[in-house]
């Protein structure tokens, strides 16, 4: 009985209503009046919390704020990421095919390939198609063999111009340049790497070629005075166009420092004779 009486007393306290008056300070007239109890305040507060919770949930679900929740993006973005990865892979294959087609057309024009020797593209996988494009003609193979034989029998000393100091040649790569070990490749190029990816013109000249290749990315060729020809390979982003004049140390391109081949392949020629870069630059 005592417990029931106490419970009834507590319930009556919660239901007991209070009057709240707001009076005008000057005239003492009643401006606002409200009757409220503890139970009413509790119920109003509870419903207000529910409404705020529902509004916040709707705001988070239907706005970009949901991506900041831990674990939410792992599931919601999975399909979108899969679609984008498939799209990138498709575009990459299409770009490779177009590059190979351009190279094939170039080989046909130069006489390296015969039109009748090229099968239908749909019947050839991309790997075999690449081998077909890179195939060398018999004339080219013989020329390379004869050239290499003449070089081995008659070694040519580098023709360094007497006024090299007047030109004050610039190192073809900005920053602290490091020569990659075993960097002399079959194209007589020397590999240079640096923490700075800016490729620089060794001296003033004219851009004679900017070509996208399969093995060496972009290749930029500069023609200089005294028969000098500088070749810059493995450029990710060329910054100059054909017939554009450049000054010494002008940036002509960028190499991909975060890629698989973060280096520049540099060649130097004079009057069709290969020049060892060590003879000109102090690496």
- If residue 166 lies in a helix (H) or strand (E), which one and from where to where? helix 164-167
Buried b (16+ CB within 10 A) or exposed e, 130-153: bebbeeeeeeeeeeeeeeeeeeee
Q: CA nearest 171: which of 230, 240, 237?
A: 230
pLDDT bin (cut points 50, 70, 90) of residue 112 is: low
176 Cα distance to chain centroid: 23
For residue range 122-166, what is the model confidence (pLDDT) as tens digits? 555 555 655 655 666 677 777 777 766 665 554 444 444 444 444
Q: Environment class of residue 56 by beta-carbon count within 10 Å: exposed (0-12), middle (13-18) or buried (19+)?
A: exposed
* pLDDT at position 2: 64
For residue range 236-267, what is the model confidence (pLDDT) as tens digits? 889 999 999 999 989 999 988 877 788 899 99
Q: Comparing 119 with 100, which gets the higher pLDDT?
A: 100
Q: Are the C-beta atoms of residues 235 and 266 closer than 8 Å to each other?
A: no
For residue range 21-68, what is the model confidence (pLDDT) as tens digits? 888 888 878 888 888 888 888 888 999 999 999 999 888 888 877 767
Q: Which residue has the tokens 């305040």?
A: 41
Taking 70 as the threshold, does the pLDDT of residue 73 lie above it? no
**φ and ψ at residue 232, rounded to 5 degrees:** -120, 115
Q: What is the residue-wise DSSP string for 170-224?
A: PPSBSSS-EEPTT---TT--EEEE-SS-EEE-SSSEEEEEEEE-SSSBEEEEEE-
Q: Are the C-beta atoms of residues 156 and 273 closer than 8 Å to each other?
A: yes
The domain segmentation of the chain, as residue ranges, is 14-76, 83-141, 163-280
The answer to whether the predicted template modeling score (pTM) of the entire model surpasses 0.85 is no
Question: Taking residues 161-176, what's their average pLDDT?
Answer: 67
Q: Are the C-beta atoms of residues 203 and 224 closer than 8 Å to each other?
A: yes
Dihedral sign for Cα atoms in the order 80, 82, 85, 90 = negative
Q: Which CATH number fits domain 163-280: 3.40.50.300, 3.90.1170.20, 2.40.10.340, 2.70.70.10?
A: 2.70.70.10
Which pair of structure tokens corresponds to residue 165? 């100091």
* pLDDT at position 217: 85
Q: Are the C-beta atoms of residues 168 and 201 closer than 8 Å to each other?
A: no
- Beta-strand ranges (E) seen in the chain are 17-23, 30-37, 178-179, 190-193, 198-200, 205-212, 218-223, 228-235, 237-238, 245-246, 251-254, 264-270, 273-274
User: DSSP secondary-structure letter at 232?
Assistant: E
């Amino acid at each position: 009985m005592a417990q029931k009486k106490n419970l009834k007393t507590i319930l009556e306290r919660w239901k007991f209503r209070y009057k709240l008056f707001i009076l005008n300070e000057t005239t003492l007239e009643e401006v606002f009046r409200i009757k409220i109890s503890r139970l009413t305040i509790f119920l109003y507060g509870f419903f207000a919390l529910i409404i705020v919770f529902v509004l916040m949930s709707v705001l988070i679900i239907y706005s970009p704020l949901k991506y900041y929740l831990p674990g939410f993006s792992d599931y919601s973005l999975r399909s979108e990421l899969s679609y984008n990865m498939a799209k990138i892979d498709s575009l990459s294959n299409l770009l490779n095919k177009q590059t190979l087609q351009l190279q094939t057309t170039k080989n046909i024009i130069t006489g390296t390939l015969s039109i009748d020797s090229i099968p239908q593209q749909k019947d050839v996988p991309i790997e075999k198609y690449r081998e077909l494009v890179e195939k060398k003609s018999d004339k080219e193979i013989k020329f390379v063999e004869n050239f290499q034989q003449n070089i081995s029998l008659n070694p040519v000393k580098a023709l360094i111009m007497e006024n090299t100091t007047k030109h004050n040649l610039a190192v073809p790569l900005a920053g602290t340049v490091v020569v990659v070990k075993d960097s002399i490749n079959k194209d007589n190029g020397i590999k240079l790497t640096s923490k700075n990816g800016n490729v620089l013109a060794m001296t003033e000249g004219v851009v004679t070629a900017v070509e996208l290749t399969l093995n060496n990315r972009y290749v930029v060729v500069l023609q200089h005075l005294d028969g000098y020809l500088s070749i810059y390979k493995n450029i990710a982003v060329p910054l100059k166009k054909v017939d554009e004049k450049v000054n010494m140390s002008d940036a002509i391109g960028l190499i991909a420092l975060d890629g698989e081949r973060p280096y520049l392949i540099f060649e130097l020629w004079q009057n069709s004779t290969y020049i060892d870069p060590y003879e000109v630059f102090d690496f």
